[in-house]
Structures are given as C-alpha cells and as structure tokens.
Amino acid sequence: MMRKLTGKIAVLTVMLIFTACSPTQVPAQMLINGAGATFPNPIYQKWFAEYAKVDPSVRFNYQSIGSGGGQKQILAGTVDFGASDGPMSDASLASAPGKILHIPTVAGADVVTYNLPDNPQLKFDGQTIADIFLGKITKWNDPRIAGQNPGVKLPDSDIVVVHRSDGSGTTYIWVDYLSGVSKEWESKVGRGTSVSWPTGLGGKGNEGVTGQVKQTPGAIGYVELVYAKQNKLPFADIKNAAGEYITPSIESITKALATAQIPDDFRFSMVNPPGQGAYPISGTTWLLVYETQKDAVKGKKLVEFLNWAITQGEGMASALDYAPLPDSVQQRVLERIKTIKY
Amino acid sequence: MQTVATAQDTTALPGRHLTQRRFGDPAFKWFTTLMALSVFVLIVLIGYKLAQGSQLAMRKFGWHFLLSSEWDPVSEKFGALPFIFGTLISSLIALFIAVPLSIATAVFITELAPRWIRQPLTLFIELLAAVPSVILGLWGIFVMVPWLHEHLFRWLRGTFGYLPLFQGPDYGSCMLAGGIILAIMIVPIITSVSREILRSVPGLQREAAYALGATRWEVTRLAVLSYARKGMFGAVILGLGRALGETMAITMVIGNNPQIKTSLFAPAYTLASVVANEFNETTGSMYPSTLFEIGLVLLGVTVAVNALAQLLLKTFAGPGMKRQH
C-alpha cells in the first residue's frame, strides 16, 4: 500500500515539475540582451527602466559581467550589444565578424584618496602621483608633495600605495592617466585593466581599496568619484594640462569631455585634456554594437533606444553622479548612430 | 549474506515482491554507481576544460610558467610561482592555527563540556560555517586587519622580531592576515567532523581506560584520540581543501601582491584570488588562457596536496591503526 502511494506521489511530482518548466505564454515583447561593464550599470539600469515607459514593446536585459566579458560576448555574437570601460583593441576589432561601433554614453572619474591625520585638502600634479605609484616618492613630507601643498602639515611617515587588485575600468583610466603624464610609467608599466604594479597593496573593488586606505595611516589610493562621494572620502585636487588644480566634479569631467580630442571611431582617451577647468583623470564608457544588425526588427529597436539614451537619457546622468556627454559630442554620436544598418 | 536475505524474503513476503526485489537491488546498485561515477566524470571534465582553455598559455610558457615570478598582463609575461607560494603558505598558516583550535574544541564538546553547553556551542560553530565568505572578507578588512595591525602584529614584532618571519614593513593586509582568515573559515568544518568522529568512539573504549585507572587526560589521549586519529586526519584534509580553494575572504585581506617574501607581514597573492580578481576584465586570448592555466595549477596543487596527505596518513598511521578498520 505504502509503496503504491509513494509511486503515485513520485509520478505526480514529476508531472508537476514538467508543468512548471513548460514554456508559459510569452507576451509579445522583444528582448534585447546586453552584457559588459560594471561601472555604468546603475545608469544603464535606470535607462532601461525609464525606456520601458517610452516603448513598452521592448525589454532590455543587461548583465554587468565586466568589460572583458562584454567584449567577448559581442565578438561571439551572444548578445545584441556589449559594454566596455576601455576601448576594444585593433586586434579584437579585426577578429570580429562585422564592424563594431563604439558608442560613448557617460563619463566618470578617478579620484586620489588618502589617509592622513585630520585629512587635509591636498593637491597633486600628475608627475608626483606617478612617482608615488612608481615607488620613487616614499615619504609624505617629500619636498615635491610639500611644495604643492604650502601650509599643510605633512607627517614624516611612509606612503602606502593602494591599488585595485581586480581588473577594472577604474584602473584603466588611472594607468592611462599615469602613462599620459609620465614617460617612465608608460614604458615600465603601461596601460591595461590589470597591470604589474611597481609597489603597494591590492584591494578588491572600490570597497577593498577604500578599506585598505581607511585602515592604513599614510595610505594613498584611487577610487571612482561616485564611490568617494557616496562614502565621504577625502580626495585631492589634481593639476590639469592648463596648469590649474581642479576638484573632481560632474562639471569638471564634462569640461574634460568637451575639450578632449575625439576621433571619428570614438575610441578616445580623455585623460589630461588641454581645456581650462577640465579634471584630468577621467574616462568614458562605451556601448558596443555591430554596424550591420542581423535582425532588422531588433536593430531598429536598438537604434531607437540609442537615440533616446544619447538625448533624453543623458539628462538622467548627473543625478547618478555620472558626467553626461556635452552637446557637441552628443551630436557627433547621433550622427554615428544613423550609420547603423538594419 | 545476500542469499540468506533472499531466502528470508521469499518466505516472508508474497511472490509479487520477489520480482520487485530482483529489479530493486540491481537498480539501487546501478543508481549509486552512477552517482559516484558522476563525481569522477565531473572532475575529469573540469580538468579537461581547464587544460583546453590553457592550451595557448601552455604552448607559449611551457613548464617555465610554474617557475616564473613575473606577472605583467600588459606585456603578457606570466608566471604562477608567487601564486602557488601564496596558496600553499596561507593554507599552512591556516592549518597551523585551526588544527589545535578545532581539535581542542571538538574534544571539549564531546568529552568535557557539561551537557547544557554542548548544543549551543555546536550551534555557534556551525553558524560560523554558514557565514558567507564575502561577508567574512569585509569583516576581515574593516575589523580584523586593523585589530591585527594594532595588537597582534605589534606584539609579534616586539616578541619575535628577531625572526625573519616577522620583519619588514607591516600594512595590516598580509600573508599572516590571509592565513588567519582562512583559519577562521576552516575551524567549523574541522571541528564539526572531528566532533562526529569523537562521538563515534565506542563508550567501551573510555570505560576500559577508566577501569585501568587512567585520568581524564589519559583516557582522552589513549582511548579516544588515538582511536579517532585517522578520522580526524580526514577532517583536517577537508579543511585544507577548503583553505586551498578559498577566494573571496582571503583576497580581501592578503594584500594581493604577487611576490615571494620571507616575512609573513608582506602582502601575497593566491591562485584562486588572482582568477577571481582578473578574469572578468580579461581581453584578448593569451591573458584569459593564462588564468585558465592558473585554474589548472590550482587543481593540480589540490590533488598533489591531497595525495601527499594520504601518503602521510599511511606512514603515520602505522600498523597500530589497522586493527580499527
């Protein structure tokens, strides 16, 4: 009797599982898949949520798996768009089955944060930061730091360098900047999402770097502006190419975008731009799409979204602490979106 | 044995059940064999995929990969030695701390503790095992590391500063901090398994020892611990396995610097951590392939350490251990 009952229960369970797994009626809604950078994830999620109100017939699914993953997936064609904090290399682009366009969306900045007694407001120029991260300036009261910070009492203690241990777009912007201001950095270390650090401790993620800096007297590190602001970390003013010390802010990043040299394929670096008032350690993030879309309907929807994002969407950036593209760049990007064929 | 059982069944049960038994036993046997085999297949598949993914790196670096200390993703020069070093040493430190702690705790719970305290204590230890490693890592960086830096490391430097192990600059995040957080993570598993093994020691063993006039310590040492030695060694190996593969917690506190230093105060890096840290932002083909090879090396290190442990067990256990099984 018992066994019969058990048998029946087993059969019922199996049936239940199958019913649960069988495809339910899918509403006639198109799904566009994307994957990539984590840094712009909050603004992208905001855009997708807002865009759902504009065009309810399309739904976006974005997975923030990292820039490397975004590049790999768009190359493999497993997603409809990719996203990356660093531009794709020539070799990667050449290996793609079609022409991939870089669509810049928003920009962010790295700030220099530190842990000193009473955390005075500090100022640095690029060469000094590069030498600190190269391990050539090792004391806080080094004349090159003191010279830029008259009136600040700097301790006679060791500088403890903290960097990101995980590969990240934040690191890319940081080493891109250091390569731009220091020949020695460029030849010894170079640019990349992970590099061989000459000195210091590695912290995982913004929270890891922040943790290390907060716990270690005399530490210096870099984190995203958004993260530094939200966590009320002290951050330094940085000397730009025009010779001014600039406080990182949405405005000073947008100024950097406005004066950066931007080539037609939009694979640009915006560190150390020449303009006045521009914060020098900033970078943009890109959406990656194929110029020739395979699926006509999907392609059309994607282009409609991109147009919306670059116009309406940009207005939502500042509220989430991202710098929007200036008008001049928006116009150029819209022109480029027009070239997408479907 | 089997024939006896069948004979009994035929007499005790109606004929209908006989056919079911004939089907049931082989089915049971095949089912369990299949399950056991699937674990084996899974490991082989993982190894195969890792080897396949690391082809490119293997061809470029060869065996040199295991001996080189360079790690430069920009110029694509890779070597795994600092990571192997970091993984082995941090796990060793963890065992050094966790083994006495866990075994003493397990002995206390099973042999000495008053009955009312056993259950809560066991619960707490098992709760410790349930803390997600990323939470432990954050706690490590914000609470443990500053405390270690201020107190333990300062004391170690003052007391044992003449040893090269405790010299050099101390930033808080270092090999020793990594080992300590691993120890915290493996204490619950070693304690729980050891406790179960100690509980399975027959009461007769203890009674016999008491009857011979042994003290409590002697009973524990002679009758209980020596009886449970082999099983407890297994518990330690389980803990070691967890320590070797641990990723998130240790990457938060070890300093993540691929270097080989004598000082335990120097930052280090582990195999699992570097994969977790760098894999999602890798581009190109050589760099991800290298991380695949790091994964393969980790698998190899784990297998090698386990094999070594089995060998140690055989040597240590000696003839005296055999009669128990």
The H or E element spanning position B77 is strand B77-78
Residue A198 has pLDDT above 70, yes or no: yes
Q: Do B283 and A92 touch (CB under 8 A)?
A: yes
pLDDT digits (tens, 9 = 90+) for A7-30: 555 555 555 444 444 444 445 678
CB contact at 8 A, A246 and A280 = yes
CB contact at 8 A, B265 and B54 = no
pLDDT digits (tens, 9 = 90+) for B82-104: 999 999 999 999 999 999 999 99
What percentage of chain B reaches a pLDDT higher than 70? 90
Packing angle, helices B15-53 and B2-12, rounded to 10: 140
pLDDT digits (tens, 9 = 90+) for B222-280: 888 888 888 888 899 989 999 999 998 999 999 999 999 999 999 999 999 999 988 87
* Cα angle for residues B77, B81, B86 (degrees, 5° grid): 125
What average pLDDT does chain A have? Answer: 88
Residue B179 has pLDDT above 60, yes or no: yes
Q: How far is B20 from chain A (nearest CA, A)?
A: 11
Is A89 touching B (CB cutoff 8 A)? yes
pLDDT digits (tens, 9 = 90+) for B36-68: 999 999 999 999 999 999 999 999 998 999 999
Among candidates A254, A256, A324, A252, which has minimal Cα distance to A43? A324
Q: Do B172 and A215 touch (CB under 8 A)?
A: yes
Q: Do A215 and B149 touch (CB under 8 A)?
A: yes
Work out the average pLDDT over A147-165. Answer: 92
CB contact at 8 A, A98 and A210 = no
Among candidates B228, B191, B233, which has minimal Cα distance to B325? B228
Which residue of chain A comes nearest to B277, CA vs CA?
Answer: A166
Residue B106 sits in a domain whose CATH number is 1.10.3720.10
Look up tokens 């049936």; give the residue.
A15
Q: Do A211 and B256 touch (CB under 8 A)?
A: no
Which pLDDT does position A264 carry in this prediction? 87
Domain for residue B155, yes or no?
Answer: yes
Residue A208 has pLDDT above 90, yes or no: no
What letter would DSSP give residue A326? P
Per-residue H/E/C for B129-140:
HHCCHHHHHHHH
Domain for residue B159, yes or no?
Answer: yes
Work out the average pLDDT over B282-302. Answer: 90
Please state, in angstroms and rounded to a whole number, the distance separating the CA atoms of residues A60 and A49.
9
Which pLDDT does position B301 carry in this prediction? 93
Q: What is the DSSP string of A265-294?
A: T-----SS-SSTT--SSEEEEEEEEESB-S
Q: Which residues of chain A neighbour B276 with C-beta distances below 8 Å?
A: 166
Is A203 touching B (CB cutoff 8 A)? yes
What average pLDDT does chain B have? Answer: 87
Which pLDDT does position B321 carry in this prediction? 46
Is A88 touching B (CB cutoff 8 A)? yes
Residue A318 has pLDDT above 70, yes or no: yes
Which pLDDT does position B324 carry in this prediction? 45
Tell me which residue range forms the domain holding B282: 81-317
Look up tokens 């939009």; give the residue.
A266
Which pLDDT does position B325 carry in this prediction? 43
Q: Which residues of chain A neighbour B70 with C-beta distances below 8 Å?
A: 196
Which pLDDT does position A13 carry in this prediction? 52
Q: Do B256 and A202 touch (CB under 8 A)?
A: yes
Q: Which residues of chain B neighbour A216 with C-beta distances below 8 Å?
A: 149, 171-172
Which of A72, A190, A201 shows the shortest C-beta gap to B256? A201
Look up tokens 């907060």; give the residue.
A214
Tell me whether residue A232 is exposed, middle or buried, using C-beta atoms within 10 angstroms of its C-beta: 0 to 12, 13 to 18, 19 or more.
Answer: exposed
Mutate to test the interface with B, among A67, A84, A158, A166 (most CBs of B within 10 A): A166
Domain for residue B119, yes or no?
Answer: yes
Residue B184 has pLDDT above 60, yes or no: yes
Is B207 touching A (CB cutoff 8 A)? no
Please state, in angstroms and rounded to a whole number, the distance separating the CA atoms of residues B244 and A137.
37
Domain for residue B63, yes or no?
Answer: no
Please state, in angstroms and rounded to a whole number, the distance separating the CA atoms of residues B146 and B168.
17
Domain for residue B312, yes or no?
Answer: yes
pLDDT digits (tens, 9 = 90+) for A92-148: 899 899 999 999 999 999 999 999 999 999 999 999 999 999 999 999 999 999 999
Is B74 touching A (CB cutoff 8 A)? yes
Mutate to test the interface with B, among A84, A139, A201 (most CBs of B within 10 A): A201
Q: Do A202 and B255 touch (CB under 8 A)?
A: yes
What letter would DSSP give residue B219? I
Residue B138 backbone dihedrals phi, psi, to 5 degrees: -65, -40
Q: How far is CA A12 from CA A9, A177, B10, B258, in A?
A: 5, 64, 31, 56
Q: Do B277 and A204 touch (CB under 8 A)?
A: yes
Among candidates A250, A295, A66, which has minimal Cα distance to A166? A66
Please state, in angstroms and rounded to a whole number, the distance separating the CA atoms of residues A166 and B73.
12
CB contact at 8 A, B173 and B254 = yes
Is A217 touching B (CB cutoff 8 A)? no
Mutate to test the interface with B, among A215, A216, A286 (most CBs of B within 10 A): A215
Is B138 touching A (CB cutoff 8 A)? yes
Which pLDDT does position A4 carry in this prediction? 53
Q: How far is A27 from chain B (nearest CA, A)?
A: 33
- Overall domain count for chain B: 1
More reliable by pLDDT, B95 or A1: B95
At B202 the three-state DSSP class reads: coil
Q: Which residues of chain B neighbour A190 with C-beta distances below 8 Å?
A: 74-75
pLDDT digits (tens, 9 = 90+) for A37-53: 888 999 999 999 999 99
Is A187 touching B (CB cutoff 8 A)? no
Lowest mean pLDDT among A112-116, A261-265, B13-17, B284-288: B13-17
Which pLDDT does position A5 carry in this prediction? 52
A274: left (phi over 0), alpha (psi -120 to 50) or beta: alpha
Which pLDDT does position A91 carry in this prediction? 85
Domain for residue B225, yes or no?
Answer: yes
Which residue of chain B comes nearest to A170, CA vs CA?
Answer: B281
> Count of residues for chain B?
325
Which pLDDT does position A245 carry in this prediction? 94
Confidence of residue B323 (pLDDT cuts 50, 70, 90): very low
Greatest alpha-carbon span in chain B: 81
For residue A26, count other CB atoms closer than 10 A to its CB: 7
ipTM of the complex, rounded to two decimals? 0.75
Domain for residue B118, yes or no?
Answer: yes
Confidence of residue A332 (pLDDT cuts 50, 70, 90): very high
Q: How far is CA B325 from CA A148, A157, A230, B209, B220, in A?
A: 75, 62, 61, 20, 20
CB contact at 8 A, A323 and A282 = yes
Residue A219 has pLDDT above 60, yes or no: yes
Surface of B (239-298) touching A: CB under 8 A? 251-252, 255-257, 267, 269, 273, 276-284, 288
Look up tokens 């060469």; give the residue.
A127
Which of B74, B149, B279 shows the shortest C-beta gap to A195? B74
Q: How far is CA B4 from CA B10, B21, B96, in A?
A: 10, 14, 51
Q: Which residues of chain A neighbour B267 with C-beta distances below 8 Å?
A: 201-202
Q: Which residues of chain B neighbour A86 with C-beta distances below 8 Å?
A: 283
More reliable by pLDDT, A8 or B172: B172
Q: Which two tokens stand for residue B63?
A: 């065996």
Domain for residue B73, yes or no?
Answer: no
CB contact at 8 A, A310 and A333 = yes
Task: Name the β-bridge partners of A61.
Answer: A33
Mutate to test the interface with A, among B138, B283, B285, B290 (most CBs of A within 10 A): B283
CB neighbour list of residue A7: distance below 8 Å, 6 or more residues apart = none
Among candidates B191, B80, B73, which has minimal Cα distance to B128? B191
